[in-house]
A and B are shown apart, each in its own frame.
Chain A
Amino acid sequence: MIYDPAPLAVILFISIVALVLGISIYFARKTSSAKGYFAAGGTIPWTVNGVAFAGDYLSAASFLGICGLIATVGYDGFLYSIGYLAGWMVALFVVAEPLKRLGRYTFADALDAKFNSKGIQLMAGISTLVVSIFYLIPQMVGAGALVTPLLGLPHWAGVVIVGAIVTFIVATAGMKSTTYVQFIKGTLLIIFSFILVIVLLNKGLDTTPDYERYRIPEVVKAELSGEKVNAAGNGYLVKGQVTSGDYTLVVLEKAGLRSWWNLDTSGDSPVLMEAVSKTQTSGGEILYNGAIKTERKFHPVGRMSRIYLDGENVEKTGKLNVISYLRAIQNGQVIRYAKKHIVFEGDNVTVWAQNPTSGAEFLRPGLKYKLGEGASIFSKLDFVSLMLALFLGTAALPHVLIRYYTVPSPRDARRSTIVAIAAIGFFYILTLYMGLGAATSGVLDVESSNMAAPLLAKSFGTFLFAIISAIAFATVLGTVSGLIVASSGAVAHDLMDRFAEVKFTDKGKVKAAKFTAVIVGGVAILLGILFKGMNVSFLVGWAFAVAASANLPSIVMMLFWKKTTAQGITYSILVGAISALTLILLSPSMFERYGIDAANAPIPFDNPGIISIPLSFITIIVVSLLTQKKSET
C-alpha cells in the first residue's frame, strides 16, 4: 500500500526511542558485573518482572502477527492467542520454581546443575542461540513492516534501525534496562490496545467504512457465453480472462486503465467484483490497480457486506458491546481477499480477489487450517502440531526462561508468572477484537497482514495510530533486546565460560557478552531483510516448535525422571533441534520461499512439532537408559 508519514507519528516514535535509549544509558552506569548484566542482579520486584514477562512475550508476533491473522483468516488467527497463553500453564505449573532454584544466569545452568557436563553446556548454548535467532526473525520483519507507514521508510530501513538501537541497548546495559523497557512497553501496549478496543466497540460496524483512504469496490454486470465473459457493464471493455483455482479473473479496461475483477455467478445474474492487483510488466514497471504508484489507485480493503443485528439486516450498528460485536459479525458476511498469482500477456500479476465469507465461517476454525470439509490427514496433523508447539514452546523459550533469574526467589518467579498470565490473557482477548476490527473497517493492506492493528488505529485518527505504532515499535525493541541478552548469555556464559573454560574476569565476561550482542544483532538484521513479507506470527510458530523440540523434553525429564543422564539431555537437544529445523526447511512454506512449487515439498505440513517433540522425548529416554552405568560411574 502507499503510506504518507505523519509528523505526529514521527515525533512520538522518536520520543519512545529516546526514552528507551535513556533507560539504557541510565542503567548502563550501574551494570558492570556478570550477575547484573545477565540477571539484573536478581533484584527485580515480581510485579515489575511479571509485566516485563508480558512485555517480552507480547512481541511483534502477538500484536502485529495475531491481529493480522485474525483480520485475514478469522478464528484461526485467534488459535495462536489461545495456544500462546496455554503455554504459560506449563511455565507456571511445571518449570517456574524448579528452574529458578537450579539456575543462575541461563537455562543451561539449570539443565546442567546436576551433571556439570560439557555436552549439555555446548548443546544448551547452541540451542539457545538457534531458538533466539528463529524468534528474532519475525521481530525484525515486524520492525520493517512498521516503519513503512510510520516513517515512510522502506522495510530494510526499519530492520536496520531496530537492529542498531537494540544492539546499542544490549551492548550497554543488559538485563536490567531490558526489563524496565519491557515493563513500560508492556504496560503501554495493554492500556492503548484496550483504548483501541473501546473506541472500536463504541463505533460499531458499518457496511461502508468511513476510513479516508477506503472506497467500496465496484460491482458490474457480466454477460457470459458459456464460461467466457463477453461484456461488462458501466462502460468497461473486456480484455482477457484467466482461471486460477476456483476463481475466474477478468481484466477490464476503461479510460485506458486496466483493472482486475473476479466473476461471481452465485447470484441470480453473473457479476464482476473489483479486485486489487499489482502487476510487474514485462518491461519491469510496477503497476498498482493498473496505474503507477504515485497515482494512488492501490486502496485498503476489508469490510462487512452484510450486517445482521437483532433480527434484521442493517447498514450500520452504532455502539456495540463485547458480545453483540462478535454476534453481529458472526451473523453477517465479511469480504475477505484471496491472493492469486497469474501470468497475463507476459506480465506477472498478483490479484487479490474478493472472497465473501459468512461471519459464521469467519468466526470458527477452518479458514487457514483445513479441519472440516476437504481436510486431509496432513492438514489436521499440521493443526495439532501447531497447537502442541505453542503449548509446549513457551516454557522452553530462552528469553522467557532467563527472566526467572531476575527476581530474588522462586516464590517471586511463581508470582511474576501469574501477573504475566493475567496481563497476557487480557491482551489476547483484545487481539480478537482488534483483528476483527481491522477486517471490517476498510483498513487492511493486502500486501502485509502484519499492519492490521496499527492501520485499525489509523482509522480512528493520527494520534492513536502514532501512539500504537510507536508502542509496537517499542514492542519489537524490547523483545529483540531480551532475545539478544539470551543469545549473548548463551555464548559468553554457556559456551565460552563454562564449556570452553575461557579464563574470564567478571568484567571480561560482560565484555564478551556485549561483543556477542553486536554480532547477533547483525545476523538478525540480515534475516529480517530476507524474510520480508511473511506473517510474523506464523514465523514465531516455528520458533516455538524449535524451542519445544530442543529444550522442553530436557527440562521436563531432568526435573521429573530420576534416570535422566547428561548424555540423554545432550542428544535430546541435538535431535530435537536438528529434526525441527530439517522439517521446517523441507516444509511447503519454505519451498514457496525458495521459489519452488509448495506441492513438491517432501514434508506435507508446515509445523514440525508433532514429529520433532516426541522424537526428542524418545531420544532422552533411550539414551538415558543406555547410559545408566556410564552415568553412575
Chain B
Amino acid sequence: MLHEPAAREEAEDFAAEYKTKLGLRMFFVYATVFAGFVAINTFAPSIMGAIFLFGLNFAIFYGFFLIILAVVLGVIYNNMCTAKEKELNK
C-alpha cells in the first residue's frame, strides 16, 4: 500500500520562525496598501480620477505602484530570508 505519511523529511530549518514572522509582517504591509486601494475605489472613487503624477490619474499610479511594490517586497523578503538562513543554518 502506498498511502504513506504525507509529510516529507527535511533538514531542520533554524530560520523558519524568523521567516514566518517576517513573512506575516510583510504580508500585513502589502495587505494594508491593497486594502487602501480597494477602500478608495469603493468609498471615494472620485479620488481615483484625480490627476496625480506625469499627467496620469491616481488609479493608474496606484495600480502600477501595487504591482511594483509586490516585486520589491518579494526581493527584500528573499534577501532577508537568505541572510538569516546563512546565519542560522551553517
Contacts and interface: CB of A to CB of B under 8 A. Distances in A.
Nearest to A361: B49
A457 interface: no
B77 A425 contact: no
Contact of A421 (B45, B46, B74): B74
Contacts of A164: none
Given A94-B24, A97-B16, A501-B1, A360 B10 contact: no
B57 A363 contact: yes
Interface residues of A, number: 68
B20 A82 contact: no
B27 A422 contact: no
A361 B38 CA distance: 18
A445 interface: no
B27 A94 contact: yes
B45 A371 contact: yes
Interface string A176-190: 000000000000000
Contacts of B60: 75, 326, 330, 363
A501 B3 contact: yes
A564 to B, nearest CB: 16
Interface hub of B30, B59, B78 (most chain A Cβ within 10 A): B59
Nearest to B50: A364
A92 B23 contact: yes
A365 B10 contact: no
Contacts of A98: 20
Contacts of B70: 85-86, 88-89, 421, 425
Interface in A75-115: 75, 78-79, 81-82, 85-86, 88-90, 92-94, 97-98, 101-104, 108-110, 112-113
Given A93-B26, A110-B6, A384 B75 contact: no
Interface string A405-432: 0000111001101100110010011001
- For the side of the interface on B, what is the size category? 35 or more
Contact of A506 (B2, B3, B10, B59): B2
Contacts of A88: 70, 74
Contacts of A363: 57, 59-60
Contacts of B83: none
Contact of A92 (B2, B77, B82): B77
A316 B66 CA distance: 32
Contacts of B55: 323, 327, 330-331
Nearest to B33: A86
A6 to B, nearest CB: 34
A360 B49 CA distance: 7
A497 interface: yes
Contact of B6 (A104, A364, A418, A504): A104
Contacts of B34: 86, 89, 387, 391
A412 B35 CA distance: 29
Contact of B73 (A89, A108, A371, A380): A89
A509 interface: yes
A372 interface: yes
Given A371-B41, A421-B71, A78 B63 contact: yes
A112 B13 contact: no
B56 A326 contact: yes
Nearest to A35: B8
B3 A497 contact: yes
B75 A418 contact: yes
Interface string A358-373: 0011011110000110
A596 B59 CA distance: 36
B49 A383 contact: no
Contact of B42 (A109, A331, A383, A429): A383
Given A365-B41, A365-B59, 12 more contacts: A86-B30, A89-B34, A93-B23, A93-B26, A93-B27, A103-B8, A104-B7, A109-B6, A372-B45, A411-B81, A421-B74, A432-B63
Q: 8 nearest interchain CB pairs?
A: A109-B6, A93-B27, A93-B23, A364-B49, A372-B45, A371-B45, A418-B74, A113-B7
Interface of A: 34, 75, 78-79, 81-82, 85-86, 88-90, 92-94, 97-98, 101-104, 108-110, 112-113, 116, 323, 326-327, 330-331, 360-361, 363-366, 371-372, 375, 380, 383-384, 387-388, 391, 409-411, 414-415, 417-418, 421-422, 425, 428-429, 432, 497-498, 501, 503-506, 509, 560
5 contacts: A93-B77, A101-B16, A103-B8, A323-B54, A384-B42
